[in-house]
């Protein structure tokens, strides 16, 4: 009998401690919300349906409503950078259609965003650490998307790709106004020499991988955002 009484007493004490701990945490949370009304959540109606915080970047589900996790916010921040990069690169045609589809998807998600400021800060820090890589990946994706199939399928495939890439970068920098043909011509050579002189590189007018690497690095440096955010 004494054993049963002790068990009941222990059970009551443990239950009381658990309840007390829960109440203390809730009081702290409410106090934090009162003291920091603009730091807790952006949208006042935010339900309790909170997304999983696993992974670095998690694509949000447009059908779900609730407070977004930091990985979801990071995904949207990353997408914003990608769209800014692609906006500078896209031209008319198939690539423009693909870009517009991405913009539409982004806008749908941006309209339903709800977040805690502390999660947004975590997301911004994550994207800030990787923003150069994000710009680099978006650039490569865009260049591949815009490269004509005839260039990709050319018999001299790698050479055509290299020349086309050089022409595209030089065009973006305002140094080349000719056709993006993937074929060498005098206008391309002149634009390359102009760039090489300005960049203090050996002047040979050749479109090679080293030149494309210089052009790519310079473009990324110029177009990496100084600050992450919407």
* Pick from 10-24, 126-140, 191-205: least confident: 10-24
Tell me the angle at which helices 209-223 and 157-172 cross, rounded to the nearest 10 degrees: 40
Domain identity same for 121 and 163? no
Domain identity same for 119 and 44? yes
> What span, in angstroms and rounded, lies between the C-alpha atoms of 144 and 5?
75
Domain identity same for 157 and 94? no
Domain identity same for 157 and 208? yes
Give domain status of residue 187, yes or no: yes
116 within 8 A of 197, measured Cβ to Cβ: no
Give domain status of residue 142, yes or no: no
Closest to 63 in 3D by CA, of 49, 73, 76, 84 = 49
User: Which H or E run includes 23?
Assistant: helix 2-35
* Pick from 71-80, 97-106, 217-226: least confident: 97-106
Q: Per residue in 32-71, pLDDT tens?
A: 444 444 444 444 333 333 344 445 888 888 887 788 899 9
Q: What is the CATH number of the domain that holds 189?
A: 1.10.101
Query: How many structural domains comprise the chain?
Result: 2
- Domain span at 206: 149-223
Q: Per residue in 158-216, pLDDT tens?
A: 889 999 999 999 999 999 999 888 888 999 999 999 999 999 999 999 999 999 999 99
Give domain status of residue 4, yes or no: no
Give domain status of residue 1, yes or no: no
């Amino acid at each position: 009998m004494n054993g049963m009484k002790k068990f009941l007493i222990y059970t009551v004490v443990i239950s009381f401690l658990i309840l007390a701990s829960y109440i203390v945490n809730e009081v702290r949370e409410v106090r934090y919300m009162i003291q920091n009304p603009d730091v807790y959540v952006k949208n006042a109606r935010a339900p309790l349906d909170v997304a999983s915080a696993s992974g670095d970047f998690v694509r949000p589900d447009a059908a779900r409503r609730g407070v977004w996790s930091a990985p979801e916010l990071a995904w949207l921040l990353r997408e914003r950078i990608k769209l800014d990069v692609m906006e500078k690169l896209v031209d008319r045609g198939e690539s423009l259609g693909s870009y517009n589809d991405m913009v539409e998807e982004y806008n749908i998600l941006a309209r339903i965003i709800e977040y805690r400021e502390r999660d947004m800060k975590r997301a911004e820090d994550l994207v800030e650490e990787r923003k150069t890589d994000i710009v680099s990946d978006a650039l490569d994706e865009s260049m591949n998307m815009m490269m004509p199939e005839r260039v990709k399928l050319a018999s001299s495939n790698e050479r055509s790709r290299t020349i086309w890439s050089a022409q595209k970068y030089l065009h973006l920098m305002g140094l080349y106004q000719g056709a993006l043909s993937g074929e060498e011509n005098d206008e391309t050579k002149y634009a390359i020499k102009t760039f090489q002189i300005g960049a203090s590189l050996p002047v040979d007018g050749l479109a090679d991988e080293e030149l494309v690497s210089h052009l790519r690095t310079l473009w990324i440096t110029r177009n990496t955002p100084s600050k992450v955010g919407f």
